[in-house]
């Protein structure tokens, strides 16, 4: 049995590539290559746009697609995942670069990669699902709003006097510099946006972002209108990624831990979400822990070769599936093709107008915002969930993602504990022959005369501790019977409350009997030594045996009184 269990555990950390190659065919190879080329063409303008939105050089987005894209496909736990720069990281990366420089970003990304690898090794893949949907929906929409507000400047050709980093400061700068609005830039932005939105679905295999880039660049070049291009604002290199180590000090590593943790959590959530979406599209099942480890290694590689944080990209992954990609070979081909484009055609990227980049990011922001999910949550969820949603959303826009996630998780945890406390209850059994017994209690067992039975429903934890005060009433009884069949879990506070009850009962010569204690509560009580204190003979599997035990204890108590 141990060898079988061990084998299953090892398989969870086995890259999908090594599994799918057993039955790989030439026909699938052709499909994977075609899909990889198409996805690379889609990734080209997106990677450049996301790099600029992140405050780094255009080619660094392509470095990320090449390095992280190849490593994640090669070692990942999904058949079809495409990794690269995504909009979710844009505001985080821009903030880190502005405050800590590129070395700070590299160190943060490497540490985030290490966190992700450890998360995979220690099987944290299944724990990501415990991050509430309201939080992920809130910060995703907040990031989309932040990206949109950050691109209005280039879309409208507005010239800033300052270079604000925070979103609120950008809005203030937009208002104060509105007089520099450029009608030429705005029209190019509208043209690009129209192509992105209205490009015929029949021609969907030709990415609309690529058409928008070519058409807008041609219009600006041929007309000679005064619209900023990438080449006007940034230096562009066609050199392939090069290995470089940052200058590392303990003090800097310590200061950058919060940034690294944020990158790691966001990369884990978005990557596994993308895997789940992909699984639904192809009827497969990803290996979440292997995917986390691969994402970690991909981010480390990206950082060491001049890239930025990467994660699974839902849109590019979906495009890979729609174009026939079914194995990690497609993602690896995508990375190689992006590298070839970088080396051979990168100089032409300097002709891309900045309003076109802004238009592409507008569409990215719209696609990622998930407004339909926001509307659904508002319509169907309790007010507490809606509060968590909008708190996370607003904090993401006004402050940053770190604050939003921390506050959101704290709020969600407190609200969850309140709900659990609300559903936890303790009620006493009544005697069958009581005058007040209603028909619902007709089937209750016959309880010994000097025994009181209480049944606990719901988890026993600190937030529900006040609900157990009823158990402290030990007047005129010889035995207290506590039924716990509906207690799925208990924490240390719950055990302490039971210990308190037991000590009071022992002080008044009252015996305590437990009925139907579930596995988790039993393990916790055994570890605390509570089971031995009470006596294992007083823990019964069924209420019938518990009542029989209570009858025996009553007889012993009566004999002592005589």
Residue 561 belongs to what H/E stretch? helix 543-561
CB 66 within 8 A of CB 337: no
What residues does 396 pair with on adjacent strands? none
Residues 16-34: tens digit of each pLDDT: 999 999 899 999 999 999 9
Asked whether residue 68 is assigned to any structural domain, the reply reads: yes
User: Does position 349 have pLDDT exceeding 50, yes or no?
Assistant: yes
Same domain, 141 and 45: yes
Same domain, 145 and 72: yes
CATH number assigned to the domain comprising residue 450: 3.30.750.24
Helix, strand, coil percentages (3-state) for the chain, rounded to 5, are 70, 5, 25
For residue 6, the model assigns a pLDDT of 44
- Per the structure, the count of domains in the chain is 2
Residue of higher predicted confidence among 162 and 219: 219
Of 198, 172, 232, 197, nearest to 362 by C-alpha is 197
- State the Cα–Cα distance between residues 161 and 180, nearest whole angstrom: 10
Mean pLDDT across the chain: 88
CA distances from 407 to 232, 388, 404, 416, 518 (A): 41, 9, 5, 14, 34
Asked whether residue 379 is assigned to any structural domain, the reply reads: no
Q: Which of 370, 391, 415 is the last residue of a domain?
A: 370
Of 447, 412, 408, 415, nearest to 428 by C-alpha is 447
Q: Which of 370, 393, 411 is the last residue of a domain?
A: 370
User: Does position 440 have pLDDT exceeding 50, yes or no?
Assistant: no
Same domain, 220 and 330: yes
Please give the share of the chain, as a percent, with pLDDT higher than 70.
91
Q: Mean pLDDT, to the nearest integer, of 71-98?
A: 94
For residue 429, the model assigns a pLDDT of 60
For residue 443, the model assigns a pLDDT of 47
Confidence of residue 7 (pLDDT cuts 50, 70, 90): very low
- State the Cα–Cα distance between residues 358 and 354, nearest whole angstrom: 6
Same domain, 134 and 44: yes
Same domain, 361 and 476: no
**Would strands 511-515 and 479-486 be described as parallel, antiparallel, or unpaired?**
parallel
Residues 463-476: tens digit of each pLDDT: 666 666 666 666 78
Confidence of residue 64 (pLDDT cuts 50, 70, 90): very high
Same domain, 359 and 500: no
What pTM was computed for the model? 0.75
Asked whether residue 335 is assigned to any structural domain, the reply reads: yes
Positive or negative: CA dihedral 97, 98, 104, 109:
negative
Q: Which of 340, 370, 400 is the last residue of a domain?
A: 370
Same domain, 71 and 162: yes
Residue of higher predicted confidence among 2 and 20: 20
Same domain, 225 and 96: yes
Asked whether residue 432 is assigned to any structural domain, the reply reads: yes
Asked whether residue 413 is assigned to any structural domain, the reply reads: no
- Domain residues for the domain of 544 are 425-561
Asked whether residue 525 is assigned to any structural domain, the reply reads: yes
Same domain, 344 and 467: no
Same domain, 189 and 56: yes
Q: Which of 83-92, 109-118, 284-293, 389-398 has the highest mean pLDDT?
A: 109-118
User: Does position 455 have pLDDT exceeding 90, yes or no?
Assistant: no
Same domain, 324 and 464: no
The 3 state secondary structure assigned to 337-391 is HHHHHHHHHHHHHHHCEHHHHHHHHHHHHHHHHCHHHHHHHHHHCCHHHHHHHHH
Asked whether residue 283 is assigned to any structural domain, the reply reads: yes
Asked whether residue 266 is assigned to any structural domain, the reply reads: no
Of 448, 433, 445, nearest to 558 by C-alpha is 448
User: Does position 82 have pLDDT exceeding 80, yes or no?
Assistant: yes
Residues 141-198: tens digit of each pLDDT: 998 899 899 999 999 999 998 878 788 998 999 999 999 999 999 999 999 999 999 9
Same domain, 309 and 432: no
């Amino acid at each position: 049995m141990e060898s079988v269990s061990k084998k299953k555990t090892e398989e969870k950390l086995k890259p999908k590539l090594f599994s799918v190659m057993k039955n790989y065919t030439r026909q699938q190879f052709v499909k994977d290559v075609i899909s990889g080329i198409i996805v690379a063409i889609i990734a080209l303008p997106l990677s450049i746009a996301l790099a600029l939105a992140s405050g780094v050089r255009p080619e660094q987005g392509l470095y990320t697609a090449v390095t992280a894209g190849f490593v994640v496909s090669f070692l990942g736990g999904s058949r079809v995942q495409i990794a690269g720069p995504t909009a979710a990281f844009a505001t985080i990366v821009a903030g880190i670069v502005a405050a800590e420089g590129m070395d700070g970003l590299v160190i943060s990304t490497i540490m985030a990669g290490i966190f992700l690898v450890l998360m995979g090794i220690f099987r944290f893949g299944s724990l990501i699902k415990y991050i509430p949907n309201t939080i992920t929906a809130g910060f995703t929409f907040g990031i989309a709003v932040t990206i949109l507000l950050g691109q209005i400047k280039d879309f409208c050709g507005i010239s800033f006097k300052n270079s604000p980093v925070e979103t609120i400061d950008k809005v203030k700068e937009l208002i104060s510099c509105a007089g520099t609005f450029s009608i030429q830039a705005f029209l190019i932005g509208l043209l690009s946006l129209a192509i992105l939105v209205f490009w015929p679905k029949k021609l969907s295999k030709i990415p609309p972002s690529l058409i928008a880039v070519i058409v807008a660049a041609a219009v600006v070049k041929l007309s000679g209108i005064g619209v900023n291009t990438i080449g006007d604002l940034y230096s562009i290199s066609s050199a392939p990624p090069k290995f470089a180590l940052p200058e590392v000090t303990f003090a800097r590593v310590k200061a950058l831990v919060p940034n690294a943790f944020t990158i790691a959590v966001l990369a884990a959530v978005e990557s596994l979400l993308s895997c789940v979406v992909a699984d639904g599209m192809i009827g497969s099942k990803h290996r979440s822990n292997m995917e986390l480890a691969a994402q970690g290694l991909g981010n480390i590689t990206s950082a060491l070769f001049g890239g930025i944080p990467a994660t699974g990209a839902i849109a590019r992954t979906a495009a890979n599936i729609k174009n026939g990609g079914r194995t990690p070979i497609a993602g690896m081909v995508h990375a190689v093709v992006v590298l070839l484009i970088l080396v051979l055609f990168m100089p032409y990227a300097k002709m891309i107008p900045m309003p076109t980049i802004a238009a592409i990011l507008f569409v990215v922001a719209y696609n990622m915002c998930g407004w339909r999910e926001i509307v659904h949550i508002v319509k169907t969820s309790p007010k507490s969930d809606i509060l968590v949603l909008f708190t996370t959303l607003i904090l993401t826009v006004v402050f940053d993602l770190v604050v939003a996630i921390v506050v959101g998780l704290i709020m969600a945890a407190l609200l969850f504990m309140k709900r659990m406390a609300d559903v936890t209850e303790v009620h006493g059994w009544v005697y069958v022959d009581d005058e007040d017994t209603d028909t619902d209690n007709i089937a209750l067992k016959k309880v010994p005369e000097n025994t009181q039975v209480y049944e606990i429903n719901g988890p026993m934890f600190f937030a529900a501790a006040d609900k157990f005060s009823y158990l402290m009433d030990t007047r005129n009884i010889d035995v207290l019977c506590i039924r716990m069949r509906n207690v799925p879990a208990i924490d240390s506070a719950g055990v302490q409350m039971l210990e308190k009850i037991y000590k009071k009962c022992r002080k008044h010569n009252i015996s305590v009997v437990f009925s139907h204690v579930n596995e988790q509560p039993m393990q916790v009580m055994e570890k605390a030594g509570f089971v031995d204190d009470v006596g294992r003979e007083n823990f019964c599997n069924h209420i019938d045996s518990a009542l029989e035990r209570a009858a025996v204890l009553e007889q012993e108590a009566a004999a002592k009184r005589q």
